[in-house]
Amino acid sequence: MKDHSVYVALLEKHLSAKRLTHSINVAEQAQLLAKLYGADEEKAYFAGLLHDLCKEMDKDEQLQWIAKSDIILDSILQSQPQVWHGMAAASYLQNELNVTDKAIIDSVRYHTTARAGMTTLEEIIYIADITSKDRDYPDVDEMRRLALTDLSQAMLAGLQYNLTRLVQKGFTISQDTFNAYNYYIMK
């Protein structure tokens, strides 16, 4: 395993202690899932560690990072500032940290919205984020069980959980999230 201390130091500059702990927990969960599902453990750890790099940045700064990328925010995504940090972090990785690995960039980008036809690494980061040991919500133990037994079923359950939360809060739902749900329900 590579030394990630430089990235932990970067996270310490950008994140609260609670969010830093979450990021480390997601990295560890992602590495575990990568080992279980035959994905690259180093990429999973790295993507998990940096997935929330831009989470606590000002929304305007997140939009500036997104503007530096090829990501186009449609009207629905423009109304969802709670998901911008994934896209902003993907851009930050590319433009500031010179990460060129598309698998890592996409797994960070889609950890908030998901999408149809996700790669195993993308699924791992999405699921690691909602099953890390710091998460505490109803049915988290069932989500963790699914994560360790069937990644596709975990994705479906995770999407159902997140869609329910969005609907209950009266939030808009991105096309990527709808497409992901339809993809996994048909899978």
Q: Contact at 8 Å (CB) between 106 and 122? A: yes
Measured from the Cβ of residue 121, the count of other Cβ atoms closer than 10 Å reads 23
Q: Contact at 8 Å (CB) between 14 and 51? A: no
Which residue spans within the chain are E strands per DSSP?
A: none
Burial of residue 128 (number of CB atoms within 10 Å: 0-12, 13-18, 19+): buried
Q: What is the DSSP letter of 54?
A: T
For the 5-186 domain, the top CATH level (class) is mainly alpha
pLDDT for residue 70:
85
Q: Where are the domains of the chain?
A: 5-186
Q: Contact at 8 Å (CB) between 22 and 132? A: yes
Q: What is the pLDDT of residues 132-144, one digit of tens each?
A: 999 999 899 999 9
* CA-closest candidate to residue 122, choices 39, 185, 16: 39
User: Which residue ranges in the chain fall short of pLDDT 70?
Assistant: none
